[in-house]
Amino acid sequence: MALVRTFRLPHLEDYPVQVALFKNVTNATFLRSQLLAANPDFDYAFLDATMILSPLPLLLTTSLTLQAYLSSTLRTRTPHSELVFRLHPNNNIGESYRKFGISDTTTHLIAIKLSLPPTEVTNESVSKHLAEVVEGESVPIGDEGEELGLWADVAKIRKIYKLNDGGKGRAKGKREVAVNGGARVRDEKKEMESVIMGIMVLKGT
């Protein structure tokens, strides 16, 4: 059995989200080919874990996806493709898949399965299926989901969300001194996370 964490987003408790994390995956090409063939057994969002900074942006994407699904405003074919699409800052669906989706070279994988009525998806069903099809080591995900950001490639993530040019070219550390008297060490990752979430919410507006 693969280790699967069930997230229940506040206010969306009726739509549990099953999430699994794998490292040292060796059959990404196969998994991707199943998505391309639209094999109904492979109705997942398969994400390259290096593109995920931390759990909150991922949960935000999930929440935006569920919201779009519930209000019938999906902009892609399926809820799972919508999830991948919503991770990307731009409106190009193919590009979203290339950047955030599983690629042939993916070794760290996040698999997400939404449970949307009438289909009944359980933690066990996902766990069983992923154990059969993913060749890789299952990694446990804790309550807060922090493990989802373990393999984040911060430089790549910065680039895709254009997070380099903030502050009119001034060094970030200097601004902190100017604003809050240097009393606090800035949490760069937290700041990136905030901006990424803002970009996601504002996407397409």
Partner 1 sequence: MAHSVAEPVPTIAPLSPPSPPPTDRPLHTLPAPFTTSNLQLLAQGAEALVYKTTFLTPNTPCVVKYRPPKPYRHPILDKRLTKARLLAEARVLVRAGREGVSVPRVLGADWEGGWLVLSWVGGGSVRQVLDGWAERVKRGEQKAEQALMDGEILDLMRRIGRCVGRLHDIGISHGDLTTSNIMLQSPSQESGPQPPLGGEITLIDFGLASHITPNSADEEGAVDLYVLERAFAATHPAAEPLFQEVLKAYSESWKGAKSVMKRLEDVRLRGRKRSMLG
Q: Which residues bind partner 1 (CB under 8 A)?
A: 7, 9-12, 55-56, 59-60, 63-64, 66-67, 70-71, 144-145, 166-167, 172, 175-176, 178-181, 183-184, 186, 191, 193-195, 197-199, 201-202, 205
CB closer to partner 1, 133 vs 154: 154
CA distance 16 to 13: 6
Identify the residue whose tokens are 């990136």. 192
Least distance CB 189 / partner 1 (angstroms): 13
CB closer to partner 1, 23 vs 203: 203
CA distance 158 to 164: 6
CB closer to partner 1, 32 vs 86: 86
Least distance CB 146 / partner 1 (angstroms): 11
